A and B are shown apart, each in its own frame.
Chain A
Amino acid sequence: MSPVPTAPAEQADQHPIEGAWRTVVRGVSLSPELRIGLPGTLVLALFATAGRAIVPVAIQQTLDNGITSDGVDVGLVAQVVLLAGLAVLLTALASGWMNYRLAAVVETALSNLRVRAFRHIHDLSMLHQAAQQRGSLVSRVTSDIDEISRFMQWGGLNLITATGQLTVATLVMFIYSWQLTLVVLATFIPFVFAARWFQRNLTRAYLVVRENIGRLLGVVAEAVVGAPVVRAYGVEERTQARLDAAIEDHRRSAVRAGTFSSLFSGTGEVFGAFAAAGALGAGIWLGIGGEVTPGTVVAFLFLITLFVDPVLIAAEVINEGQNAVAGWRRVLDVLDIPPDVADPGEDGEDLPDGPIGVEFEGVAFRYPRPGESAATASGPLVLEGLSLTIAPQTRVAVVGETGSGKTTFAKLLTRLMDPVEGEVRLADVPLHRVRFASLRRRVVMVPQDGALFDGSIADNVRMGRSDLSDEDLDLAFLELGLADWVDELPDHLDTRAGERGSGLSAGERQLVALARAYLANPDLLVLDEATSAVDPATEVRLQRALTGLTRGRTTISIAHRLSTAEAADEVLVFDQGELVQRGTHRQLVAQGGVYGALHASWVRGTSGEAAQTRTSVEQG
């Protein structure tokens, strides 16, 4: 499946929303790069915005001093225009330089933040990676940070210059005439209230639009991905009705947001006119009193236009800013989760050379409930008082129903999680003392779905060992009895696996995963068997490869099949979080109990009435 745009993640905010300012402070302290050259950038911003007052001032100077009733002082006007032109040039330079610095600083800082968040997410234990949906983890390093970037480079910049413009315009007004300034400000007070009202409504309206877009995408995806079902069940009309409803909802909410936005600009125009009228009326009155010159009044009329835009911009941008801050907060929150399964690093030990045995001593585990960390987990115990020893180089099958604790057992064994009680030891070394580098080299887990990456099959196999030559790879596939399979592939080992391995069948993905594990050459192998049936031809290869892979290694298989359990040196039977039976397949069948029941159901399921036939075939 191609990446589907993630639905708005706003609802993911569960904890009390901290202030926007606190988030920004936290964010900046985590990305100190943002502060690089900040004073310089701010000074440039000041220059850039100050430049906006140049033209009104030049007009005032020309009208008041250059063009008088005595005639026109062309020289003065030329001087004013020249100076103003110079100022315009400087302003442009300052503004350009500021833009450039900001872009470089912001993008560099955010790029580093992205990488840091990415690494942190990989360092979190499986617990967190599973607890949070994958899609939302992806948005932590993509859309959330994109949103910050967009805001800082566009909206935020607009907000800064708008604020600057407002300040500069006010300042210049005050210098010209404090009385007129007060008149203008007074007429703007109601506008500020109106702006706040509009801004609140805009924020709400845009939120609805985003939600509706998410829903629309979901429904379209259903119609596309589910096309065979829609066709086979003749539910086109129902599907179209759902589509139409989502499309219409989106249209309506978007027009609603547009209506607020349009009315708001209209309001801005009206208030601008009131301010101009106020300035003119008061200006004439003050002019007669000799307090201001007519040129000043004209300059005011121009300055007022500098006043309206920033308020309009601010109201629209604040909405964007809220999204950016919310995104930033989500990224910071992920970074705040401490990695609960930590690498002991320098202080740790390496696993001793040679075969690896496994020991569990009084191990218990419980999953955290939503919102809890692993340390404060209070879920029900899924594994309790587990003590066992597995001798090096044995092949062990772990069986049990869903929820019996067998998968948890595997995750504790590979230190994807740490037990809440007790200790796991590999080759007599406590697992939490083992350096990750050593652990990951000596212990390999093959997950159910194979988990391939886009790229060639060779790339996927090399993941374990990047130093391998093509010959090494060929040899490995040959040793695993997979050479014929590779030959059948259109481009052999260069065949692309496709997005998440989608170019291969489920069984073929497993073959690649097994080859990968084989080349990693571990001493302890943990296999999570796939539950779904695969194509029989692939199945044969799979079994052949497994035989080659497990030879001489300590192998622990989470088994879903009778055949795996039958072939193991020993079977561990889990039930409701406890190890209830242990022994060879034959012994356990004789014992009955939990294994007896599992065995009976397996026999029924895999061979049905044909069970006898199967036996006879094997003998033949």
Chain B
Amino acid sequence: MTVSTRPTPRDPASAGLLRRGAAVIGVALREAKGPFSLGIGGAIVYAGMTVAASIVLGWATDEVLYPLVEAGEIDASLLWLALAAIVGVALFKAAGVVGRRLGAYIAQFQLQALYRRRVTRRYLELPLSWHRRHPTGELLSNANADVESAFFVAAPLPMAIGATLLVVITAGLLVITDAFLAAIGFSVGPLLGFANWYYQRRMRYAATVAQQARADVAEVAHESFDGALVVKTMGREDEETARFRTTTEDLRDKMIVVGRLRAFFDPVIEALPNVGILLVLLVGAYRVRDGVLTPGDLVTFAYLFRLVALPIRVFGWLLGELPRAVVGWDRVKRVLSAEGRMEHGERATSGNGAAEVRSEGVAFYHPSSAREDLSGPAAAAEVLSEDHRRGIDAVSFDVPPGRTVALVGATGSGKSTIAALLVRLFDPDDGRIRLDGLDLRDLEREELSRNAVIVFQEAFLFDDTVRGNIALGGDFTDTEVEDAARLARAHGFISELSEGYDTMVGERGATLSGGQRQRIALARALIRRPRLLVLDDATSAVDPSVESEILRGLADADLPSTVVLVAYRQGSIALADEVLFLRDGEVAARGTHEELLESMPTYRDLVTAYERRDGTPAGEGQP
């Protein structure tokens, strides 16, 4: 039910599939030469030894078993030779199997790791505007499932190559022994290959459809349990169960389709080689009668047939994997080839204290289509995103060093956009932001993050300790960490955690409350003693009284910082030296909080809304 479109299962037989599949295989072979050499070498040994084993068995039947039994006497040396041959061939064959499978595994996982590194590296390089266009779930599955399915072909690849060889050798041998019988036997080969290919194709489709149904079930369950409170308080259990039952039964039906396919094709694929062997026996009996064949040849024939059956199935697997591999590979490539990377200059700032910030005619327009799909350009769904519906235009202002400026405005007025531009999360479409007179684009990468730091409303914590989340790998002493936490009013609750600063916060800081997470995120910024500190509604989940304590503390501390804050609460706004009032992406007014309250009715309405119980127009007053 999400807006994101799912890849529709395409017809795997679509034109170019084989060519594109071959391209993926080519990449795989190139990027994992070593392991594939092992795997293919193993497969060749395996194929050779499989043929050898059948020859040995045939020979042992003709030259050892029958003669010795008929002679009624054991020829020890001959017998030992036969036994040694069987075991010896098997040892080589085993080595071949191990090499083949191991090579395939190593290749598969090496390729996965390689491309996961590449994809995630791109994630870290691509601009945030790109990130914003792609839903989290999609990027997650790109690094995970897409990479996996792209290189799933690696698994059957050595086997398939070995199988080709095996089929060729076998065919050659059989033709040499008895071309007629070989032709009879191999008549089931193409049938088997076709049945397999068709089966895999149908199955892939059915499995994809079932997979989608499974995702729907998960989605409904997720949503329903998430809203458990509403379901309960509204007494919606029956309706929710009915909704879940519908999706579940859909999944059931699709799984039964999968089962039915299996029920039809599995026996066919299993029976075909047997039919081949029986044919060989029948025709072979005539050939033995006619003196063309020996009974031993017939045994070899039958044995080989059994062994060829499996490799032929491998082709089916390989062909079956191809569509998935091609889709996965296309999606991976789309990330790897995505355009864009933020270039940094080489300048460094000279100042030490608080920075001077200037915005000169800055404009930033949000792209109209908010979402892109990795499957292709066709699917782009617009998703409303709070505060990003409009851009900003010709915004100019300057903040003298050491001042605290509040950005105030209604939703969509561009506050968060300006906040992000001030630390160069994006580049403006027009105009420039200067820090101490230097264009942010001319600053070195490290200089930028050393000088200007932003704290977001959505406090993001890593699955790490409290200390690790504050330091983020930076070189800070314990005292520095604690001081920063104190300043962010976080030291108190951190000390009460089971392991203090060494407590693991869990995925996304799940063990902490929203306000606690925000305070840790704030400490993370403060410890860096930035020359420009941007707070984008960074204390929204903190109690109002604690929030003003924090802001007061910041003002009293000896931070070398110019502060720009986006705030809603009047108490926080009032602490700023100055207020920039934004409306529709433009600076509508500027002045102290008191001045604006006096002079601008729209400003007054906006900032006092939070304290008022009833809407002013209604004038309900106190009951």
Tell me which of A18-26, A119-127, A362-370, A381-389 binds B.
A119-127
Q: Which residues of A contact B144 (CB under 8 A)?
A: 5, 216-217, 220
Q: Which residues of A contact B545 (CB under 8 A)?
A: 601-602, 604-605
**Once the chains bind, are A258 and B1 in contact (CB under 8 Å)?**
no
Give me the 7 closest cross-chain CB pairs, A-B, nearest first. Answer: A103-B259, A605-B544, A440-B235, A273-B90, A2-B137, A258-B105, A234-B449
Cα distance A121–B240 in the bound complex, in angstroms: 12
**Once the chains bind, are A500 and B410 in contact (CB under 8 Å)?**
no
**Once the chains bind, are A67 and B267 in contact (CB under 8 Å)?**
no
A32 at the interface (CB under 8 A from B): no
**Once the chains bind, are B540 and A294 in contact (CB under 8 Å)?**
no
- What are 12 A-B contacts defined by CB distance under 8 Å? A77-B282, A81-B282, A115-B244, A118-B248, A142-B214, A298-B65, A395-B623, A531-B543, A537-B609, A540-B616, A543-B613, A610-B574
Asked whether A280 and B86 contact (CB < 8 A) given A122-B240, A222-B463, A520-B234, the answer is yes
A102 at the interface (CB under 8 A from B): yes
**Once the chains bind, are A3 and B218 in contact (CB under 8 Å)?**
yes
Q: Which residues of B contact A466 (CB under 8 A)?
A: 239
A490 to chain B, nearest CB (A): 7
**Interfacial residues of chain A within 38-95, with CB under 8 A of chain B in the complex:** 48, 54-55, 58-59, 62-63, 66-67, 71-72, 74, 77-78, 80-81, 84-85, 88-89, 91-93, 95
**Interfacial residues of chain A within 233-269, with CB under 8 A of chain B in the complex:** 233-236, 238-240, 243-244, 247-248, 250-251, 254-255, 258-259, 261-263, 265-267, 269
Q: Which residues of A contact B521 (CB under 8 A)?
A: 229
A592 to chain B, nearest CB (A): 17
Cα distance A544–B620 in the bound complex, in angstroms: 9
Please encode chain A, from 525 to 543, with 1 for each CB lying within 8 Å of some chain B CB and 0 for all others.
Answer: 0000001111111111101
Cα distance A98–B399 in the bound complex, in angstroms: 78
B261 to chain A, nearest CB (A): 9
Cα distance A46–B49 in the bound complex, in angstroms: 34
**Interfacial residues of chain B within 71-110, with CB under 8 A of chain A in the complex:** 72-74, 79, 82-83, 86-87, 89-91, 93-95, 97-98, 101-102, 105-106, 109-110
Cα distance A261–B614 in the bound complex, in angstroms: 70
Q: Which residues of A contact B590 (CB under 8 A)?
A: none
B33 at the interface (CB under 8 A from A): no
Tell me which of B22-30, B170-178, B222-230, B482-490 binds A.
B222-230
**Once the chains bind, are B278 and A85 in contact (CB under 8 Å)?**
yes
Cα distance A3–B204 in the bound complex, in angstroms: 24
Cα distance A232–B233 in the bound complex, in angstroms: 42
Given contacts A516-B234, A606-B611, could you give 11 more A-B pairs where the C-beta distance is less than 8 Å?
A88-B278, A97-B263, A238-B472, A258-B102, A440-B234, A444-B234, A533-B610, A541-B615, A601-B544, A613-B594, A617-B604
**Once the chains bind, are A276 and B268 in contact (CB under 8 Å)?**
no
Asked whether A277 and B94 contact (CB < 8 A) given A54-B274, A234-B449, the answer is no
**Once the chains bind, are B259 and A99 in contact (CB under 8 Å)?**
yes
Q: Which residues of B contact A274 (CB under 8 A)?
A: 87, 90
**Once the chains bind, are B270 and A92 in contact (CB under 8 Å)?**
yes
A329 at the interface (CB under 8 A from B): no
Please encode chain A, from 130 to 155, with 1 for each CB lying within 8 Å of some chain B CB and 0 for all others.
Answer: 00001001100110001001000100
A609 at the interface (CB under 8 A from B): yes
Please encode chain B, from 417 to 456, with 1 for each CB lying within 8 Å of some chain A CB and 0 for all others.
Answer: 0001001010000000000000000000110111001101
Interface size class on chain A is 35 or more
Asked whether A235 and B472 contact (CB < 8 A) given A3-B222, A220-B140, the answer is yes
B252 to chain A, nearest CB (A): 4
**Which chain B residue shows the least CB distance to A605?**
B544
B117 at the interface (CB under 8 A from A): yes
**Interfacial residues of chain B within 250-275, with CB under 8 A of chain A in the complex:** 251-252, 255-256, 258-260, 262-264, 266-268, 270-271, 274-275
A445 at the interface (CB under 8 A from B): yes
**Once the chains bind, are A453 and B227 in contact (CB under 8 Å)?**
yes
Q: Which residues of A contact B275 (CB under 8 A)?
A: 85, 88
A504 to chain B, nearest CB (A): 7
Please encode chain B, from 278 to 294, with 1 for each CB lying within 8 Å of some chain A CB and 0 for all others.
Answer: 11011001101100000
Of A220, A250, A441, A451, which is within 8 A of B227 by CB?
A: A451
Which residue, of B91, B124, B286, B521, has the highest number of chain A Cβ atoms within 10 A?
B124
Cα distance A137–B225 in the bound complex, in angstroms: 8
**Which chain A residue shows the least CB distance to B510?**
A133
Q: Which residues of A contact B285 (CB under 8 A)?
A: 62, 66-67, 72, 74, 77-78
Of B139, B222, B295, B608, which is within 8 A of A67 by CB?
A: B295
**Which chain B residue shows the least CB distance to A121?**
B225
Cα distance A236–B344 in the bound complex, in angstroms: 14
Cα distance A610–B592 in the bound complex, in angstroms: 11
**Once the chains bind, are A55 and B255 in contact (CB under 8 Å)?**
no
Of A84, A103, A104, A569, which is within 8 A of B278 by CB?
A: A84
B136 at the interface (CB under 8 A from A): yes
Please encode chain A, from 27 to 39, with 1 for each CB lying within 8 Å of some chain B CB and 0 for all others.
Answer: 0000000000000
Q: Which residues of B contact A498 (CB under 8 A)?
A: 3, 383-384
Q: Which residues of B contact A516 (CB under 8 A)?
A: 234
Cα distance A107–B263 in the bound complex, in angstroms: 14
**Once the chains bind, are B106 and A115 in contact (CB under 8 Å)?**
no
**Once the chains bind, are B102 and A102 in contact (CB under 8 Å)?**
no
Tell me which of B7-15, B189-197, B316-324, B564-572 binds A.
B564-572
**Once the chains bind, are A614 and B544 in contact (CB under 8 Å)?**
no
**Once the chains bind, are A567 and B614 in contact (CB under 8 Å)?**
yes
**Once the chains bind, are A229 and B95 in contact (CB under 8 Å)?**
no
Q: Which residues of A contact B98 (CB under 8 A)?
A: 262-263, 265-266
**Interfacial residues of chain A within 561-578, with CB under 8 A of chain B in the complex:** 562-564, 566-567, 569
Which residue, of B117, B226, B241, B521, has the highest number of chain A Cβ atoms within 10 A?
B226
**Interfacial residues of chain A within 261-312, with CB under 8 A of chain B in the complex:** 261-263, 265-267, 269-270, 272-274, 276-277, 280-281, 283-285, 287-288, 294, 297-298, 301-302, 305
A406 at the interface (CB under 8 A from B): no
**Interfacial residues of chain B within 523-565, with CB under 8 A of chain A in the complex:** 524, 528, 537, 540-541, 543-548
**Once the chains bind, are A606 and B597 in contact (CB under 8 Å)?**
no
A75 to chain B, nearest CB (A): 10
**Interfacial residues of chain B within 104-143, with CB under 8 A of chain A in the complex:** 105-106, 109-110, 112-113, 116-117, 120-121, 123-125, 128, 131, 135-140, 143
Asked whether A58 and B113 contact (CB < 8 A) given A111-B248, A238-B473, the answer is no
**Interfacial residues of chain B within 352-376, with CB under 8 A of chain A in the complex:** none
B347 to chain A, nearest CB (A): 16
A491 to chain B, nearest CB (A): 10
Please encode chain B, from 4 to 44, with 1 for each CB lying within 8 Å of some chain A CB and 0 for all others.
Answer: 10000000000000000000000000000000000000000
Cα distance A255–B610 in the bound complex, in angstroms: 58
Cα distance A229–B134 in the bound complex, in angstroms: 17
**Which chain B residue shows the least CB distance to A119?**
B241
**Which chain A residue shows the least CB distance to B99?**
A262
Asked whether A2 and B299 contact (CB < 8 A) given A505-B386, A541-B615, the answer is no
B398 at the interface (CB under 8 A from A): no
**Which chain B residue shows the least CB distance to A284?**
B68
Of B258, B281, B472, B514, which is within 8 A of A233 by CB?
A: B472
B552 to chain A, nearest CB (A): 9
**Once the chains bind, are B277 and A55 in contact (CB under 8 Å)?**
yes
B333 at the interface (CB under 8 A from A): no
B407 at the interface (CB under 8 A from A): no
**Interfacial residues of chain A within 555-598, with CB under 8 A of chain B in the complex:** 562-564, 566-567, 569
**Once the chains bind, are B289 and A228 in contact (CB under 8 Å)?**
no
B466 at the interface (CB under 8 A from A): no
Cα distance A137–B224 in the bound complex, in angstroms: 11
Q: Which residues of A contact B507 (CB under 8 A)?
A: 218, 221
Tell me which of B56-64, B160-168, B179-187, B494-502 binds A.
B56-64
A100 at the interface (CB under 8 A from B): yes
**Which chain A residue shows the least CB distance to B447?**
A234
Cα distance A436–B263 in the bound complex, in angstroms: 47
**Interfacial residues of chain B within 204-250, with CB under 8 A of chain A in the complex:** 214, 217-219, 221-237, 239-241, 244-245, 248-249
